[in-house]
Structure 1
Amino acid sequence: MEKSVESNMLDQQLVQQFHNEGFVIARGLLTEQEIDDIKKTAMNMHAGGPIKGCFDPVPKEKADQDPLKLYPRMIHPHKVNGTLKEYMLHPNIKQVLANLFNEEPLAAQSMFYFKPPGSRGQALHQDNFYLKVEPGTCIAAWVAVDDADEENGGLVVVPKTSELDIMCPHKADIKESFTALEVEVPEGKSVEQCNMKAGDVLFFNGSVIHGSYPNQSKDRFRRSFICHYVGESTSRIGHGYAPLYRFDGTPVDTDASADGLPCGIDWEYEFELH
């Protein structure tokens, strides 16, 4: 069954699908004009060169034929660009999140992924491994800025993994993934491709296993604008996410979660999200 909504409202049946499956796609949640605005904003930022604390592209002659060195992802672009902050706080996204959290949502993070042709994917992982939200978990809103499918490395999810504990990761294949850690698909579960059109938004729970495979297309970017949110009842979150924001733009301070990671050991890991 397709997990999607055709309007800006999530009815109770689709909310239940989110809670059962761990994810739901809101079809056409952002307009063509809004998506074009996001795309132009990010591409103009890239053309302007490195932005400290956000992204650090290298010249072509230093990229070693790695597309992701030319087009690295942006981390927290909302902190340096007002337009992307506005889209992080988009009212349609708030409306969906309020139904899914059943409380007021707060914005915790923004990212922009370019993923040009030939780029590696991102190994399967769980977002709350990194965000460490307490109590509860986070919800991601993954905005397709280009059409996304298997060919250009669209997102994949593992349904019905939203109730899992945060799993112990192992090393990923860095020839296929630009991040260093991955988790296994649990026995009895399988990976599902999320085919999306530009303007669709995929919402998924912070325990849901997800990731992407390489962009195998010859000429198609797979750009995406991804934000993470928590409910207003959140009392702690990992280092690096402060401040949180209400949807009117006002900041909210919260305590930092403990540094401990799953498995009872301290992992040396890249601070990586999809």
Structure 2
Amino acid sequence: MPPDAVRRHPDVEAALRAAVVADVAWTVEGRPRLHGVLPLVGPDGPVLALPFSELATARSLAAAGRALVCLSEPEGVGRSWRPLAVRARTRLHEDPDGDVFTAILLEQELLRWPPSRLLADSVLLRREHWWWLPRLLVHLEVLEERPLAAREGPDDHLLVVAGDGAGDGAGDWPEAAVTGPTGAVRGAAPAPGPAVLLGQELSWPDLERWGRWSWQGRWDGEALQVEQAPESTGLPPVPGLLSRWRRHRALERSCRAGLAAARREAAGVTGP
């Protein structure tokens, strides 16, 4: 879709550029899904550049066709940042060679996401970690922004509710709000529906550790009726040398496997 075919939202794009992390929410079979992302802005507008290790997530987002991008984490952000939730339509462009990502979005990612610098901050690193450059580009056509409070500490949580609508009704759009330490909603409470309550904490300024945990259940309009609780909460411990190596190797294997699967599908090959 050419850039002039979509209405641009400069204030929203500025807030996304100034963010460090965001949460993207969408609905699958009436249940909310949540994923942590680094929001980028390209020539055509906002975009999520997911590695091929997240092939299933990118395709699920594209299949949903609509998503809610939530900016609620204020730490480390730029001057143009502000808390908000953005309704957007999704469109997936697979970039298996990484040409589009490297030419247009890589520098923006390196400036804002230190873990990526360990993989792609030089020509030599990019050759060694070639599997990090192919990306799944989920383009976001911004439709409207909605109010959202900022998280004020690790005891605040992001509540995302799928809603009970159907078809093209309100239930297709997740709703979000931030809750305080007591569980009280800041601002307007979402309507009842299947819900996820997300907690997260990041290590600053290296961003090496990103702890995310959630409770799943049903929001009744005032409280979450928990059906599934997390096994642990809080920031993961500082990894040792062996843990870092294993994590690196696992990421490589996952990226290469996703890329190989996408290439087999593109070539019409079925099976492993």
Q: TM-score range by the shorter chain?
A: under 0.3
Higher helix share: 2
Name the structure, 1 or 2, with higher relative contact order (CA <8 Å, separation 6+).
1
Query: TM-score, normalization: structure 1?
Result: 0.26
Higher strand share: 2
Q: Which has the larger radius of gyration?
A: 2
